[in-house]
Amino acid sequence: MEWFYSITNFLIGACVASHAALICDRFDQANFWSPHSYCQICYTELGLLDEIPLISYLFLHGKCRYCHNPIPVKLPIIEAFGGFSFISLDLSQSNDLLTCIILFSILLAAICDFEVQEFHLVMILPAIFLAFIRLTSLSHYQLLDYLEFLPISLLLITFVWQHKLGSGDLIIYLVLVFFFSPHFANLVFLTGSVCLILYFCFQRKKYSTQKAVAFIPYLFLGLILQLPFN
């Protein structure tokens, strides 16, 4: 039955990710609170069969049912990443339900960071709140925890101060430290950094040193890859 729960979690994560993409698309628009989804090109209201994560995209061959314009390929990619992020969770456990909130908040930040290289702080306020609640865990830190936490924190603060890194990266690092552990947060940042380096290696001819790099999407990827081992 484990495979059944994995598939169920994947579908739940894909739905959550689809909603996150919708929030990011509408965040600064007047119709943010509109309950209806619609095509971004022809503005036709979408039906239920048009909104099934991944399945609708495949069934419609990546095109709007009404105007036949291409659906942005970023949508199924976001849904897939959201699905994979939920696979290892046990949604019957309260701690994993809180982890879902962390994932959703960081996914919101990752989508916006990828598109405009910034995000609104309100998007990760739930994650900050949960991390703040767990600040009491600092009293249980051992020396090794501080040795893993303090140097990286000081390094990130220095990069933010020198405008070499966005403050959002530092905030997300602190969220991961306080909600999970310093060791886990460092592994997430290490994995995300490796993924970014691999991207540069494959895109070295197209990459410009003058172009800002969205790092939070790679942090989210690092979080997906490390979460099953946490």
Q: Give the pLDDT confidence of 181-215 residue by residue, as tens digits.
A: 899 999 999 999 999 888 888 776 665 555 667 88
What the block records as the tokens of 153 is 């924190």
Distance from C-alpha of 111 to C-alpha of 89, rounded to nearest angstrom = 22
pLDDT digits (tens, 9 = 90+) for 137-173: 566 677 787 788 888 889 889 988 887 778 889 999 9
Question: Model pTM?
Answer: 0.89
pLDDT, position 22:
85
In whole numbers, what is the pLDDT of the chain averaged over residues? 85
pLDDT, position 34:
60
Share of the chain above pLDDT 90, in %: 37
pLDDT, position 44:
78
CA distance to 2, 72, 96, 188, per residue, from 229 (Å) = 17, 32, 14, 11
Nearest Cα residue to 81 out of 175, 192, 212, 194: 192
pLDDT digits (tens, 9 = 90+) for 9-45: 999 999 999 989 888 887 766 555 566 677 777 777 7
CB-based contacts of 198, cutoff 8 Å, min separation 6:
none
Question: From the CA atom positions of the chain, what is the Rg in Å?
Answer: 19
